[in-house]
Structure 1
Amino acid sequence: MILDNKSKFLYKIFENKDIQELQILTPFITLYGFEVIQKIFNTKTKLLLSDRVEKILGINEELKYKNQLKQTFLARKFAEVIQKIEVKSTLQKNLSILNIIDKNSITSVQGNFDLSLAGLGKIVSNNYYTNLVVKNEREFINIFNDLWNMPTNEDLKSKITDYLKKIYEEKSPEFIYFFTLYKIFENILDNFDEDKIINSRTGFKNTVIWNKLFNFQKDAVIGAIEKLEKYNGCIIADSVGLGKTFEALAIIKYYELKNNKVLVLTPKKLRENWNIYRINDKRNILAEDRFNYDILNHTDLNREKGYSGEINLETINWGNYDLIVIDESHNFRNANFKKEKKSRYQKLLEDIIKSGIKTKVLMLSATPVNNRLNDLKNQIAFITEDNDKAFTDYGIKSIETTLRIAQAKFNQWMELPEKEKSTKKLLEMLNFDYFKLLDLVTIARSRKHIEKYYNTSNIGKFPQRLKPINIKTAIDNENIIYIEDINNTIKKLILAAYSPLKYLYPSKREEYAKKYDSELGEGKVFRQVDRENALIDLMRVNLLKRMESSINSFTITISKLINKYEEILNKIENYKNIEDISILDINEDDEIEGLIGEKIKVLVKDIDTIRWKQDLKEDLALLKSLLLKTQRITPQKDNKLKNLKTIIENKNKNPINPNNKKVIIFTAFADTANYLYENISIWAKENFNIESCLITGSGNNKCTLNISKDMNNLLINFSPISKERNKIDPSANKEIDILIATDCISEGQNLQDCDYLINYDIHWNPVRIIQRFGRIDRIGSKNEKIQLVNFWPDMELDEYINLENRVTGRMVLLDISATGDDNVINQEKATLFYRLKQLKELQEKVIDLEEIDGTITLTDLTLSNFKMDLIEYLKTNPNLKTYPTGIHSTLLSDDNKGVIFCVKLLKEEKSNYPLHPYYLVYVDENNEVKLNFNNTKIILDLYKNLTFNHTLDEKAISLLKDKTKNYKEMKPIVEKLKIAIDSIIEKKEEVGIKSLFSRGDINFSNEFNTFEDFEIISFLVVQ
């Protein structure tokens, strides 16, 4: 008789037999096959297995039974049986033997069976089975005995038991979280394998810079090099204070060791931060690494001649760089394309990145996304050389389409009612491929992430942030002038000096449009007239800002404006029309009588001078009236300055950390910084015997110590511990305690010796305030506590923001014609509303960028945090990789009751879902889908928050065992699993149908999925 499992089935051979002994040689046995024939193992049994032990978990044809979630119950039962029988491995392949010995007969089966449901004939299989049944043939017993006694056999009892334990033993919630992450990211773990990414022959790990990095910085370096090699670029968007500059220096050194030519593009104010590490100078703590990169300022991209450092801009070979590092890359958010002369963006993209040799691009920015998700588009274009299809192989069919859809979703989110407008809601709305795109090219970690997931004991912690001190102060102590009076005057100003094109004769407008209008691409034009209108609005804001900064700064500005107006009026009065010349014939350097202006020049003869003079004189009268009042306010009458001195005095008498007298005073304006230095430095020296210094972007630095006024030298002497002064100049013993600076040092500097930072004027963008505070709010600080002090205008914040709003009038972002934003004015109002909310938050506590309500950072949008979590966990828990799928854990929680499932789609199909083929769904206790798989980031955040450091929850385990009868009755959880999988199928079909009606590729599977197309990977039961 032949058992083919079509009409005659193997499992029936065991029926109605009084079995005394069993001998089985088979490739494998599965849990589900065991469930069918478990009773036969109550007798003496010898089991020989020729295949992998891991087959116990089941074969593909049994996956729908795996989704019944009985693995734990069956594994425990099977483990009990294994202890009672004998089981060995064998090298004998392609042969199966079954000998059933009972009282009266021997039944033998020889063929190709296994002990799965398919092999037993319990389910239909595509495999063809031919198993011959013979009676009372002792030859098969002899064959089995010979195979059983082969010296190459190994006892499998402990191996099988250990594997079964991995299935049935209780796991901690944290373990299941990391196991889930492992399965999701398993295929990309090589991307983070240090030894595979870093070429050890370069000697990179012996460099000074590599050995100065903390572990979290090393991880960023490895991740960035992997992305540079694989995708040609990377954006490092770590939060303020995490050391992006040192991370970039390590990456530069790696490529220099490979003989690559490197260019660093930096804002001019940060040039010295980079230059110090490549010069032969005792202040260079990385001198041994012999850095050899070139440095250019962002502004150098606008220049065609002259020198930048030692580089001749006229002869430089722009196309000869292997790697470009762009510091503060958010400055290239906007792609301006000009008609006559290339913009910085064009120059960088076309002359450096696209031309010459293949160029990798590393970008650094804590804020690559501002208030438009589309901000990334132009930065990513540097990586892809503006190839919209560059990431097609990674599931991004069109970068432009991906970002355009994301921007549209963001715009919808901005219009939501205030109660609904949360980061969580935005994450729910965004398209999958946007997350995937970010994941490809960005690395973004937050301060909280570093604190939570890295061992910082050898570094030190972040200091404790004290509640900010907020000071409101009147302009002067004699009530000479009020902020409202100044505002009313500013609103009346026409600012005619800044809008000469407004006064052109109609016949001349076309000539000037030809010369000064800019093409934005796609037929769009940026008119110079519009630019002038925007400039006027910015001037009004600037006047208000200078007044808020210091009355001295405001007075200087008013004086300069008066001089400018008088100069223009003088030129108009003295002009004699000698020659007939067109503005189109005039070059940038021409000096012609009757030519007014600097960058934008106009000929007096082309202007309606009667109208222009009238408006100029009107402005001039208002400016002079302001000046008469402000000149009366001397430093002795300056109320704000008086308050500052009181704060410094209190700080000296009552330091927040032992013997720490250090203070940083930030201001947005060099005029204010100079004014403060003049009035603070001598006073502080005389009263407290402390030294002061002044650092401004103009380079006119000052110090009460007789030392070099170079910026880096001043900073070393202000923060000698963080700047390692002892290695540079061991004999130095004097320190600077008061640092007065503009925002030229608000980024890229570690000044953590200081514990006290004062914002003498408030930057209305909270990001700038946080960046300033990031100079002292750094990991490894010697200070236990740090203090932020903010000066505010003497009025309610709402009133001040509204005042600014009125001053700006109809000011809008004029580059929006290229961004896809539809309702710019509403967006601007929303931005103002968020600024107000954010500034109010900052009055109460110091917060991180990613914590600011309404601010979207890359740490909100990427999955890199979870990958780094996993990598760190695997370092101490490598056995995680050996666990089978289908496992679970449980915990008790007051909220979030339900089950988080991770399932895998078994059918091969293309998808732009970032975790494909894995899907996460959270079903609540009422069998409602609380979070669908498109809420990837939110589910992972929830998973992490629920399980972090969560060991075995014995109460939860006991409760779940009671509910499921020791995991035998899993129907309630299986029901939730069905709901989860149905929601995936439904959502995928919905996405597919939507794609039929959208631009771009159709995202539709050839056939619909079913419950059996998914495999359970893990689940967390929250009770």
Structure 2
Amino acid sequence: MKHSSGILDNKSLGNVVSELKENIAAGCTLSMVSALFSLYAYDELKRELAKINNFRLLVPSLNDEESFLNNLHGNNLDRRLRNRLDVARIARECSEWLKQKCEVRPLPSSVHQNLIHLAHANNGEHLAIVGSSTFTTDGLGIVPSEAHHMNTCFRNSEEAHSLIKWFDELWDSGRKSDDFGDILQEALALIYSDKTPQQVYFLTLFNIFRDFIGELDEDKIIKTQTGIKSTQVRQKLYKFQRDGVLGAIDKIERYNGCIIADSVGLGKTFEALAIIKYYELRNDRVLVLCPKKLRENWTLYTVNDKRNIMASDRFNYDVLNHTDLTRLRGMSGEINLETLNWGNYDLIVIDESHNFRNNPARKDDSLTRYSKLMNDIIKAGVKTKVLMLSATPVNNRMNDLKNQVAFIVEAKDEALKSNGIASIEQTLKMAQTRFNTWLSLDGSQRTTESLLETLNFDYFKLLDLLTIARSRKHIEKYYDMSEIGKFPERLRPVNIKTDIDTERRFPALESINRDI
């Protein structure tokens, strides 16, 4: 054993785990201040730790027990160790060792240094290591880490003895409670206990859908201080429509846009009005783009009109026609297109967005509705969020969807890379290829189930991220229909056959055809 103090950086100047392995001797006592405790760190030192008589663990800043317990499994640097799939064995052995030799005390206040102290080490003297390292694999230098650790190893018994006095003072100020020790043992038991097939199944489902759990928590999604809950438009919505509004706002805030593709008749316009009102209450400027024939459907709610059932909400959005995008001058309602600041809208709502499913290329670089919308509104000026409404976002091919998604991501193909979609174009291209393969199957094989199995997973991921699409059957299955009422049933078609010549002035077609 060296007798001089030194630096341990878990790199070229030595690591903590080697120092402990060298100096832990039979009958010694171990005292430790560490905010984290890893099972894999224990497993690396279990032979040495079995020799000690007593282990005191002081956990500082223990205001979040869940965080401490979650770190029992290690961190992302322990992937290689996790892949051995022996954490249950380690947890069971660690539990027994802690029961026999360990006392744990939580310390509510923080401690800026971690400490490992050995009393009666190999040479009978004290040894102390104080610094940044916690009792984890990267903290002890068991696995490589990019972190820059700085620890001082005091091999002089007198220096180390002064540190144990400091530890004793902290230990005495800690809470004497068996509760945390019991909680720690319960956490370890949860790791090493046998799991039923049902538990494994539920855990698998949780990890698949964990990103979507709680996504419709209203208090987390919307800023209630805006007063959106007291607006007339929100109060008129059914439960399924309110869920649609929440989901759309969540997607708009996360990914900059959303496509509401609910079936015809489910109230996409009312959902959009509630979303518009939410952003208006945040002082955002809103533009609605709609086909000319639907213009009055939108302008009605912005004027003082008896038919405006939401007059008290005082909507103040602008409305333009799709055709106005290629007009350079003139008036559209009360808006002067020549002087309009196209790039100053915070939110744009596109009704019947499937009209923008094509992005035609022109040799003369002349203005198209698509290019105007993309370049002068979405990409220009302030950051623009996008809400699209369409019952049929995909008409003929997946490229229809790609061109509409481009508005949300500002034509950046890798915009959703962090969400598991490396390339939007390639995802939709693969989906189109697989869809074509499905179309070529025999009629008996061309089923909905086979289509779902054929399409690539990242295609469904893309739909989950950016779209909300529900049918009447979906609403009937998952919502209380007593609030909504029964959807009207479509009557069976009645075929009416009439004669061309009811007054019998012309010969029958059969005789004319025979004469010809």
**Shorter-chain TM-score: what band?**
0.5 to 0.7
Per-residue deviation at 1:246?
1.8
Deviations 1:831-877 (A, max 9, x none): xxxxxxxxxxxxxxxxxxxxxxxxxxxxxxxxxxxxxxxxxxxxxxx
The residue that corresponds to 1:319 in the other structure is 342
The residue that corresponds to 2:20 in the other structure is 10
The residue that corresponds to 1:88 in the other structure is 105
1:37 correspondence with 2:61: no
CA distance in 2, matches of 1:245, 1:444: 14
The residue that corresponds to 1:25 in the other structure is 32
Deviations 1:15-55 (A, max 9, x none): 7x4x4x74432535432344452896698634123465544
Unpaired runs of 5+ residues, structure 1, are 482-550, 553-622, 630-1023
CA contact (8 A) 2:30 2:116 kept: no
Deviations 1:806-845 (A, max 9, x none): xxxxxxxxxxxxxxxxxxxxxxxxxxxxxxxxxxxxxxxx
CA distance in 2, matches of 1:432, 1:279: 46
Q: Which amino acid aligns with 2:72?
A: I
Per-residue deviation at 1:332?
3.0
Q: CA 1:451/1:25 → structure 2, altered by over 3 Å: closer, same or farther? A: farther
Q: Which amino acid aligns with 1:443?
A: I
Aligned partner (choices 155, 163, 168) of residue 146 of structure 1: 168
CA contact (8 A) 1:99 1:140 kept: no
CA distance in 1, matches of 2:38, 2:381: 60
The residue that corresponds to 2:82 in the other structure is 66
CA distance in 2, matches of 1:59, 1:256: 43
Per-residue deviation at 1:292?
3.1
Q: TM-score, with normalisation over the residues of structure 2? A: 0.67
Deviations 1:151-179 (A, max 9, x none): 14564414423543553565845752464
Q: CA 1:39/1:472 → structure 2, altered by over 3 Å: closer, same or farther? A: farther
CA contact (8 A) 1:330 1:369 kept: yes
Aligned pairs for 1:705-784 (under 5 A) are: none
Q: With a CA cutoff of 8 Å and minimum separation of 6, indicate the structure with the bigger relative contact order.
A: 1
Deviations 1:981-1006 (A, max 9, x none): xxxxxxxxxxxxxxxxxxxxxxxxxx
Q: CA 1:77/1:392 → structure 2, altered by over 3 Å: closer, same or farther? A: closer
Per-residue deviation at 1:263?
3.8
Per-residue deviation at 1:248?
0.2
Aligned pairs for 1:434-445 (under 5 A) are: 438=463, 441-445=466-470
Q: CA 1:210/1:48 → structure 2, altered by over 3 Å: closer, same or farther? A: same
CA contact (8 A) 1:33 1:115 kept: yes
Aligned residue for 1:97, secondary structure, equals: strand
Q: CA 1:45/1:275 → structure 2, altered by over 3 Å: closer, same or farther? A: same
CA distance in 2, matches of 1:75, 1:436: 36
Q: Which amino acid aligns with 1:176?
A: L
The residue that corresponds to 1:380 in the other structure is 405
Deviations 1:351-374 (A, max 9, x none): 766788765432101220123111
CA contact (8 A) 1:9 1:120 kept: no
Q: Which amino acid aligns with 1:58?
A: G
CA distance in 2, matches of 1:624, 1:297: 52
Aligned residue for 1:95, secondary structure, equals: strand
Aligned residue for 1:374, secondary structure, equals: helix
CA contact (8 A) 1:82 1:157 kept: no
Q: Which amino acid aligns with 2:389?
A: L
Aligned partner (choices 129, 150, 156) of residue 111 of structure 1: 129
Per-residue deviation at 1:82?
4.0
Aligned residue for 2:46, secondary structure, equals: helix
Deviations 1:85-134 (A, max 9, x none): 421245472421123699xx95644235865567889x576779886678
CA distance in 2, matches of 1:285, 1:47: 70
Q: Which amino acid aligns with 1:37?
A: K
The residue that corresponds to 1:862 in the other structure is none
CA distance in 1, matches of 2:488, 2:47: 63
The residue that corresponds to 1:363 in the other structure is 388
Per-residue deviation at 1:250?
1.0
Aligned residue for 2:497, secondary structure, equals: coil
Of 375-384 and 137-146, the range deviating more from structure 2 = 137-146
The residue that corresponds to 2:188 in the other structure is 164
RMSD: 5.5
Q: TM-score, with normalisation over the residues of structure 1? A: 0.38
Deviations 1:420-471 (A, max 9, x none): 655666566666775665555433455666677x7x45964775999x8867
Per-residue deviation at 1:181?
4.5
Aligned residue for 2:128, secondary structure, equals: strand
Number of aligned residue pairs: give it: 474
Aligned residue for 2:342, secondary structure, equals: coil
1:49 correspondence with 2:58: yes
Q: CA 1:446/1:149 → structure 2, altered by over 3 Å: closer, same or farther? A: same
Per-residue deviation at 1:136?
12
CA distance in 2, matches of 1:294, 1:60: 50
CA distance in 2, matches of 1:355, 1:145: 61
1:180 correspondence with 2:213: no
Per-residue deviation at 1:285?
3.1
Aligned partner (choices 186, 208, 224) of residue 248 of structure 2: 224
Structure with greater Cα Rg: 1
Deviations 1:953-1010 (A, max 9, x none): xxxxxxxxxxxxxxxxxxxxxxxxxxxxxxxxxxxxxxxxxxxxxxxxxxxxxxxxxx
CA distance in 2, matches of 1:118, 1:302: 60
Aligned residue for 2:315, secondary structure, equals: coil
CA contact (8 A) 1:373 1:410 kept: no
CA distance in 2, matches of 1:354, 1:202: 27
Per-residue deviation at 1:286?
1.8
Deviations 1:589-617 (A, max 9, x none): xxxxxxxxxxxxxxxxxxxxxxxxxxxxx
CA distance in 2, matches of 1:80, 1:435: 46
The residue that corresponds to 1:407 in the other structure is 432
